[in-house]
Amino acid sequence: MSGFGWPVRIYWEATDAAGMVYHGAYPGIFEQARVEWMRHLGFDQAHRDGNVTGFFAVKCLQIDYKRPLLLDQQVVVTCCVSSSGASRLILAQNIMHEGQQMAEAMVSLAWLDAMRKKPIRMPSNLKQKLQEQ
Protein backbone atom coordinates (compact mmCIF):
# COMPACT_ATOMS: atom_id res chain seq x y z
CA MET A 1 0.00 0.00 0.00
CA SER A 2 1.35 3.38 -0.91
CA GLY A 3 0.30 6.63 0.70
CA PHE A 4 1.39 8.46 3.81
CA GLY A 5 3.47 6.60 6.42
CA TRP A 6 4.10 7.62 10.02
CA PRO A 7 6.69 5.94 12.29
CA VAL A 8 5.43 4.82 15.71
CA ARG A 9 7.29 3.12 18.54
CA ILE A 10 5.36 0.75 20.80
CA TYR A 11 5.51 1.84 24.46
CA TRP A 12 4.51 0.16 27.74
CA GLU A 13 1.19 2.00 27.88
CA ALA A 14 -0.09 0.13 24.81
CA THR A 15 0.90 -3.37 25.98
CA ASP A 16 -0.56 -6.02 28.23
CA ALA A 17 1.23 -8.19 30.79
CA ALA A 18 2.68 -10.37 28.00
CA GLY A 19 4.33 -7.37 26.32
CA MET A 20 1.95 -7.46 23.35
CA VAL A 21 -0.17 -4.51 22.26
CA TYR A 22 -3.62 -4.79 23.78
CA HIS A 23 -6.34 -4.88 21.09
CA GLY A 24 -7.95 -1.73 22.52
CA ALA A 25 -4.76 0.28 21.88
CA TYR A 26 -4.81 -0.21 18.10
CA PRO A 27 -7.42 2.50 17.40
CA GLY A 28 -5.12 5.06 19.07
CA ILE A 29 -2.16 3.93 16.98
CA PHE A 30 -4.18 4.29 13.78
CA GLU A 31 -5.52 7.67 14.97
CA GLN A 32 -2.02 9.03 15.59
CA ALA A 33 -1.10 8.35 11.97
CA ARG A 34 -4.34 9.92 10.68
CA VAL A 35 -3.69 13.09 12.69
CA GLU A 36 -0.14 13.35 11.35
CA TRP A 37 -1.36 12.65 7.81
CA MET A 38 -3.88 15.50 8.07
CA ARG A 39 -1.15 17.78 9.44
CA HIS A 40 1.05 16.76 6.49
CA LEU A 41 -1.80 17.82 4.17
CA GLY A 42 -1.94 21.21 5.89
CA PHE A 43 -4.93 20.61 8.19
CA ASP A 44 -3.61 20.92 11.73
CA GLN A 45 -6.02 20.00 14.55
CA ALA A 46 -5.11 23.02 16.64
CA HIS A 47 -5.20 25.54 13.79
CA ARG A 48 -8.65 26.65 12.73
CA ASP A 49 -8.96 29.37 10.15
CA GLY A 50 -12.21 31.15 9.35
CA ASN A 51 -13.02 28.71 6.54
CA VAL A 52 -12.83 25.53 8.61
CA THR A 53 -16.10 24.98 10.41
CA GLY A 54 -16.00 21.23 10.86
CA PHE A 55 -14.01 18.17 11.80
CA PHE A 56 -13.75 14.46 11.03
CA ALA A 57 -15.40 11.99 13.37
CA VAL A 58 -14.92 8.22 13.16
CA LYS A 59 -18.15 6.58 12.03
CA CYS A 60 -16.86 3.03 11.71
CA LEU A 61 -13.54 1.32 12.39
CA GLN A 62 -12.82 -2.24 11.31
CA ILE A 63 -9.49 -3.77 12.33
CA ASP A 64 -8.00 -7.05 11.18
CA TYR A 65 -5.18 -8.14 13.52
CA LYS A 66 -2.57 -10.07 11.52
CA ARG A 67 0.45 -10.41 13.86
CA PRO A 68 1.00 -9.18 17.41
CA LEU A 69 2.76 -5.87 17.98
CA LEU A 70 5.37 -6.07 20.71
CA LEU A 71 6.87 -3.70 23.22
CA ASP A 72 9.53 -1.38 21.73
CA GLN A 73 8.87 -2.32 18.10
CA GLN A 74 9.26 0.47 15.58
CA VAL A 75 6.39 0.30 13.10
CA VAL A 76 5.07 2.43 10.25
CA VAL A 77 1.37 3.24 10.09
CA THR A 78 0.05 4.09 6.64
CA CYS A 79 -2.98 6.06 5.47
CA CYS A 80 -4.45 5.90 1.98
CA VAL A 81 -7.77 7.24 0.68
CA SER A 82 -10.00 4.36 -0.37
CA SER A 83 -13.02 6.48 -1.33
CA SER A 84 -14.68 9.77 -0.52
CA GLY A 85 -17.97 11.58 -0.89
CA ALA A 86 -19.34 15.00 -0.06
CA SER A 87 -19.07 14.45 3.70
CA ARG A 88 -17.57 10.95 3.91
CA LEU A 89 -14.02 9.65 3.75
CA ILE A 90 -12.95 6.02 3.84
CA LEU A 91 -9.31 5.29 4.58
CA ALA A 92 -7.31 2.09 4.29
CA GLN A 93 -4.64 1.92 6.99
CA ASN A 94 -1.90 -0.59 7.72
CA ILE A 95 0.60 -1.14 10.49
CA MET A 96 3.84 -2.47 9.02
CA HIS A 97 6.92 -3.85 10.77
CA GLU A 98 10.01 -4.80 8.76
CA GLY A 99 7.96 -5.36 5.62
CA GLN A 100 5.28 -7.46 7.34
CA GLN A 101 1.69 -6.37 7.69
CA MET A 102 0.82 -6.45 11.39
CA ALA A 103 -2.72 -5.05 11.21
CA GLU A 104 -5.01 -3.41 8.71
CA ALA A 105 -7.97 -1.13 9.21
CA MET A 106 -10.78 0.39 7.20
CA VAL A 107 -11.87 3.69 8.74
CA SER A 108 -15.03 5.51 7.76
CA LEU A 109 -14.98 9.19 8.70
CA ALA A 110 -17.73 11.80 8.53
CA TRP A 111 -17.10 15.54 8.21
CA LEU A 112 -19.29 17.19 10.86
CA ASP A 113 -20.38 20.76 11.43
CA ALA A 114 -18.45 21.99 14.47
CA MET A 115 -21.51 23.58 16.09
CA ARG A 116 -24.36 21.22 15.20
CA LYS A 117 -22.33 17.97 15.11
CA LYS A 118 -24.17 16.89 11.95
CA PRO A 119 -22.67 15.87 8.59
CA ILE A 120 -21.94 18.67 6.12
CA ARG A 121 -19.94 18.92 2.90
CA MET A 122 -16.18 18.95 3.33
CA PRO A 123 -14.49 22.26 2.52
CA SER A 124 -13.42 22.36 -1.14
CA ASN A 125 -9.73 22.86 -0.27
CA LEU A 126 -9.76 19.74 1.93
CA LYS A 127 -11.66 17.71 -0.68
CA GLN A 128 -9.12 18.76 -3.33
CA LYS A 129 -6.14 17.74 -1.14
CA LEU A 130 -7.74 14.35 -0.47
CA GLN A 131 -8.37 13.75 -4.18
CA GLU A 132 -4.66 14.39 -4.85
CA GLN A 133 -3.71 11.50 -2.54
* Residues annotated as part of the active site: 16
Residues 104, 30: Cα–Cα separation, whole Å: 9
Q: Is the Cβ–Cβ distance between 79 and 93 less than 8 Å?
A: yes
The SS3 of residue 38 is helix
Q: Is the Cβ–Cβ distance between 127 and 90 less than 8 Å?
A: no
